[in-house]
Amino acid sequence: MLEVRHLNVWYGAAQALFDVSLQVDVGELVVLQGLNGAGKSTLLQAIMGLSPRATGAISYQNKSIERWEPHRRALAGLGYVAEDRRLFTGLTVHENLRLAARGDVPAREAQALQLFPALADMLDRPSGRMSGGEQQMLAIARTLMTGPTLLLLDEPCEGIAPLLVEAIRDALLRLKREGVTLLVAEQNHILAAHADRTLTLAAGQLRER
């Protein structure tokens, strides 16, 4: 489904990823581990087309996408939830959901709210007035409004209260059961126990185990 070959990424003169190759198959949950600064966020951003400078090949559903703009990658089915969530904090939950929506919007909204029932009770709340965990749910739900087939998640359970961590973990596992493919960067081993495979980045290089 997703294939990355010989990926190198630079920030200015500093190289952050070195010859990274990986594959994610349909329906898999792959967890990407590594210490701070190992390059996890950089890898997800490169897959999404957000890197300042990258070389290598990326294919998705057998199409070469490495030259595509991020928006085109999103249209092809890649959904990305950044570590900082990128919500519009002045807008309500409902407005955040609707902003990114594509396709059958009411059906997607119903599905997202079923996955995160807590959001259904706060549709009119500005997202800036939600807890970190609630914001994370909204960030994931907003990405689901685009109908992704592959979800790229950067530290989805980092710094979140335990009860909400469970809700987010269970929602992600449910998405997997429903056929969504997941590539999750995390340091805190929340999803690793459920992963089909774990990849580890160290100083910009990948090893599989």
Q: Does 37 bind ligand ATP (CB under 6 A)?
A: yes
Which residue stretch of 37-45, 107-115, 137-145, 176-184 sits at the interface with ligand ATP (rule: CB under 6 A)? 37-45
For ligand ATP, which stretch binds (CB under 6 A), given 29-37, 65-73, 104-112, 127-135? 29-37
As measured in angstroms, the least distance from the Cβ of 9 to ligand ATP is 8
Contact in structure between 20 and 185 (CB atoms under 8 Å): no
- 206 binding ligand ATP? (CB under 6 A): no
Residue nearer to ligand ATP on the CB measure, 40 or 108? 40
Instruction: Check binding of 85 to ligand ATP (CB under 6 A).
Output: no
Distance (Å, whole) CA 117 – CA 26: 27
Nearer to ligand ATP, 36 or 62 (CB): 36
Tell me which residue of 85, 67, 84 sits closest to 76, measured CA to CA: 67
Selected binder of ligand ATP within 31, 34, 140, 180 (CB under 6 A) = 34
**List of E strands, the chain:** 2-11, 14-24, 29-33, 53-60, 63-64, 78-81, 150-154, 181-185, 197-202, 205-208
Residue placing its CB nearer to ligand ATP in the complex, 24 or 43: 43
- 3-state class (DSSP) for residue 135: helix
Q: Which amino acid is at 105?
A: V
Applying the rule CB under 6 A, the residues between 143 and 182 that interact with ligand ATP are: none
> Does 42 interact with ligand ATP (rule: CB under 6 A)?
yes
Rounded Cα distance between 164 and 144, Å, is 18
Q: Which of 11, 21, 84, 89 binds ligand ATP (CB under 6 A)?
A: 11
* Contact flag: residue 84 with ligand ATP (CB under 6 A): no
Q: Which is nearer to ligand ATP, 109 or 154 (CB)?
A: 154
* Terminal Cα-to-Cα distance of the chain (whole angstroms): 20
Tell me the residue ranges of DSSP E strands in 90-149: none
**Distant-in-sequence, close-in-space partners of 86: CB < 8 Å, separation ≥ 6:** 139
With CB under 6 A as the rule, give the number of residues binding ligand ATP: 11
The site for ligand ATP (CB under 6 A) is made up of 11, 14, 16, 34, 36-42
